[in-house]
Amino acid sequence: MSLNLAILPQYLQGSNFSNDVILLSFESELFEIIKSLVDAIGRPIKEIDCYLAEDGYNSITEDPSGNPIKGVQAQQLKKYLDKVSVTHWRNKAFIAYLNELPNDLF
C-alpha cells in the first residue's frame, strides 16, 4: 500500500471545479510540508467538481479516507515549498506548475 496525494488546482477564482488532477509521488519532506500546511490553515471545501469522482467528472466532498477536502491558497503552498528539494520528475513538474498558478487560487 502506498500513500497517494492528488492536487486539484482551482480553475478560476470563485469556481468550485478543477480540470486538472496532479498526482504526486511520495517524498516524505514534500508530503509532510503539505500535510502540516493543510492541517494548520486548510480551508474546508464544500465540494469540488473534478475527474476523481467515482463516475467520472463529478463532485467530490471528501478524500478516499473519508476526510473533508481542504484547500490552501497557491501563494501559501509556494511559500512553504520554496526550499523543498524534490527528486521525482512528477513532483518537479508539480512545483513548476504551482509556481505558475495565480497566488489567489486554491
Note down the domain range covering 85: 5-100
- 37 inside domain: yes
Express the helix, strand and coil content of the chain in percent, nearest 5 each.
30, 25, 45
- 32 inside domain: yes
What phi and psi, each to the nearest 5 degrees, are found at residue 42?
A: -60, 135
Between 92 and 63, the more confident residue is 92
- 106 inside domain: no
Q: If 0-12 CB within 10 Å is exposed, 13-18 middle and 19+ buried, where does residue 22 land?
A: middle
Q: How confident is the model at residue 1 (pLDDT cuts 50, 70, 90)?
A: very low
Q: How confident is the model at residue 2 (pLDDT cuts 50, 70, 90)?
A: low
* CA–CA gap between residue 79 and residue 17 (Å, rounded): 24
Structural domain tally of the chain?
1
* CA–CA gap between residue 3 and residue 11 (Å, rounded): 25
- 40 inside domain: yes
- 20 inside domain: yes
- 105 inside domain: no
The alpha carbon of residue 98 and the mean position of all alpha carbons in its chain are separated, in whole angstroms, by: 10
Per-residue pLDDT tens digits for 27-39:
999 999 999 999 9
